[in-house]
Amino acid sequence: MSKVKIRPWNSAEHLQSEEDIVAYLEACLEEGGDDAAFIVHALGVIARAQGMAALARKTGLTRKGCTKPYRIVEIRASVPY
């Protein structure tokens, strides 16, 4: 029996168009409700799909400026209260 090779699922690979991104964000908003960490994760997936450099150019921020808020919310979401 041969081994099956698998790799982690990456949603960003499947967001190819604006329509894909809109549908993904709408589904995440519906699924995540008021869970800020869930929504921030979805926005991070969208940013990766578009490329952080392109997102930085569109927003006028640096690449680091685009990723920093995402990381802060992600860390806070993982800390139990």
In a domain, 69, yes or no: yes
Q: In this predicted structure, what is the pLDDT of residue 20?
A: 92
B/e letters for 49-62, b = 16+ CB within 10 Å, e = fewer, are: beebeebbeeeeee
Please report the pLDDT score of residue 81 as a whole number: 39
In a domain, 2, yes or no: no
Asked if the structure places residue 1 within a domain, the reply is no
Question: Which residue stretches of the chain have pLDDT < 70?
Answer: 63-81
pTM: 0.63
The answer as to whether 9 is a domain residue is no
64 falls within a domain: yes
